[in-house]
Amino acid sequence: MKITDVKIIVCSPGRNFVTVKIFTDEGLTGVGDATLNGREKAVVAYLQEHLAPLLIGRDPSRIEDIWQYFYKGAYWRRGPVTMAAIAGIDTALWDIKAKAANMPLYQLLGGASREKVLCYTHAQGTDIAEAVEAVGRRIEQGYKAIRVQVGIPGLPDVYGTGKKSVTNNAADDAFPHEETWSTSKYLRYVPELFKAVREAHGWDIELLHDSHHRLTPIEAARLGKDLEFARLFWLEDTVAAEYQEGFRLIRKHTTTPLAVGEVFNTIWDARLLMEEQLIDYIRTTTVHAGGVTAQRRIMDFASVYNVRTACHGAMDMSPICLGANLHLDLWVPNFGIQEYSGYLPEILDVFPSAWSLKDGYLHPGEAIGHGVEIDEKLAEKYPYQRAYLPVNRLEDGTLWHW
């Protein structure tokens, strides 16, 4: 079999997505997600100019060799743009290989290790009452695990609670939306949120929270301690994790489980965190960590150190990324949980998917390949529109972590 063409499809059904579609001389095609929220066109250029021309004529079954060729062959290794581009190609090649083998991707990885994939979804409110109500609605929908975010009194809008934050897509602005932040206001208020949620909804629901990289290690340690009463499933992205050793301080002070890694793009970003068991869940996801080939490697490495998987699954991961994640989730022995923040209906129209959701559990389905396609005709109806993730400033104007 030979690769005959590679198409990079950019569309915006509610938000921008970058999709790689690979064609072969035997009529099989495969698709992969290469979306990098807020920097989509950088990945498109990387693919169109530097990688796609090198694929024509290659044997699509040589997935590992192609991955190494693009990873080592770049010389300038790693980074979100490079690894998202490689991910789009890699995921499409695994799709083709599983189709050629006439089986769902999870069978090619080693078969199912479970019957269904536990997921968590999002609930948020501009205040505690709204957030508590939102959690109730998610429980009624059957979810077993819910991430809870809340607006902070005195701050105009906070990550995960405003319209722009929820869609992560400020397409209606020429510049990134600017949020305002106060760590002290946040640290005082979040324990109140979880006290109210536990009082209202009890203990049979798993609760998660995302600090979105904004704390210092000692502030993260304080929050972890202050939240131990709530027995969270995890506290996510407390500290921007370039300085992995910083997590030793957090670990010393709290037993609240920690999750990190959605912004990581190679195993090296998480190596020390996992080797020293400074985290409990690794959040890398297929589109940002270099595809199925690399994600499987990270998952296996994590299993050596009692770290469980927790693929990032916000709306800016396309249904293709979710589909590929779900095949890995069904196979991986050290599975933790899969994020599922849901999709706008127009997104699911553009990306017909075999995966399904029932009573808080997902399943990739039994379609051959990873089970997700792209409706190219429909995708054309949603042209790309430049959009930015928000930025975050402290009350004195200092540019902070978003």
249-260 burial string, b = 16+ CB within 10 Å, else e? ebbeebebbbbb
49 burial (CB, 10 Å; 0-12 / 13-18 / 19+) is exposed
Quick one: what does residue 314 bind among ligand CS2, Mg ion, none, with the CB cut-off 5 to 8 Å set by partner type? ligand CS2
Taking the least distance from each CB to Mg ion, the nearer of 210 and 329 is 210
SS3 339: strand
Do residues 130 and 148 make contact, with C-beta atoms less than 8 angstroms apart?
A: no
Q: Give the contact letters, 350-389, x = binds to ligand CS2 (CB under 6 A), - = no.
A: ---------------------------------------x
Quick one: what does residue 24 bind among Mg ion, ligand CS2, none, with the CB cut-off 5 to 8 Å set by partner type? none
Among the listed residues 122, 177, 212, 327, the single catalytic one is: 212
For the bound state, the minimum distance from the C-beta of residue 47 to ligand CS2, rounded and expressed in Å, comes to 19
Task: Enumerate residues 6+ apart whose C-beta is below 8 A from 279.
Answer: 247, 258, 259, 260, 261, 270, 273, 307
φ and ψ of 286, to 5 deg:
-55, -45
290 burial (CB, 10 Å; 0-12 / 13-18 / 19+) is buried
For the bound state, the minimum distance from the C-beta of residue 227 to ligand CS2, rounded and expressed in Å, comes to 17
**212 is an active site residue:** yes
For the bound state, the minimum distance from the C-beta of residue 288 to Mg ion, rounded and expressed in Å, comes to 12
DSSP code for 390: -
φ and ψ of 381, to 5 deg:
-75, -10
Quick one: what does residue 37 bind among Mg ion, ligand CS2, none, with the CB cut-off 5 to 8 Å set by partner type? ligand CS2
DSSP code for 108: H
**159 is an active site residue:** yes
Site residues (CB under 6 A) for ligand CS2, limited to 150-179: 168
CA nearest 18: which of 87, 77, 65, 74? 87
State the helix-helix crossing angle for 80-100 and 63-72, rounded to 10 degrees: 170
**# residues contacting ligand CS2 (CB under 6 A):** 11
| Spatial distance between the Cα atoms of 59 and 79, rounded to a whole number of angstroms | 26
For the bound state, the minimum distance from the C-beta of residue 207 to ligand CS2, rounded and expressed in Å, comes to 14
Residue whose pair of structure tokens reads 């090649």 in the numeric block: 93
Among the listed residues 71, 159, 281, 361, the single catalytic one is: 159
Q: Give the contact letters, 305-324, x = binds to ligand CS2 (CB under 6 A), - = no.
A: -------x-x-x--------
Take residue 292 and report the two structure tokens written for it.
Answer: 């199925």
Site residues (CB under 6 A) for ligand CS2, limited to 196-215: 210, 212
Quick one: what does residue 103 bind among ligand CS2, Mg ion, none, with the CB cut-off 5 to 8 Å set by partner type? none
| 219, 262, 280, 373: residue in contact with ligand CS2 (rule CB under 6 A) | 262
Residue 95 binds to Mg ion (criterion: CB under 5 A):
no
Site residues (CB under 6 A) for ligand CS2, limited to 54-113: none
Handedness of CA 73, 78, 84, 88 (dihedral sign): positive
Q: How far is CA 216 from CA 157, 158, 319, 327, 400, in A?
A: 21, 18, 34, 35, 12
| 210, 219, 269, 373: residue in contact with Mg ion (rule CB under 5 A) | 210
For the bound state, the minimum distance from the C-beta of residue 38 to ligand CS2, rounded and expressed in Å, comes to 7
SS3 397: coil
Take residue 369 and report the two structure tokens written for it.
Answer: 């390949």
| 12, 24, 29, 37: residue in contact with ligand CS2 (rule CB under 6 A) | 37
Residue ranges in contact with Mg ion by CB under 5 A: 210, 262
Catalytic residues: 159, 212
Q: Which residues bind ligand CS2 (CB under 6 A)?
A: 37, 168, 210, 212, 262, 312, 314, 316, 339, 341, 389
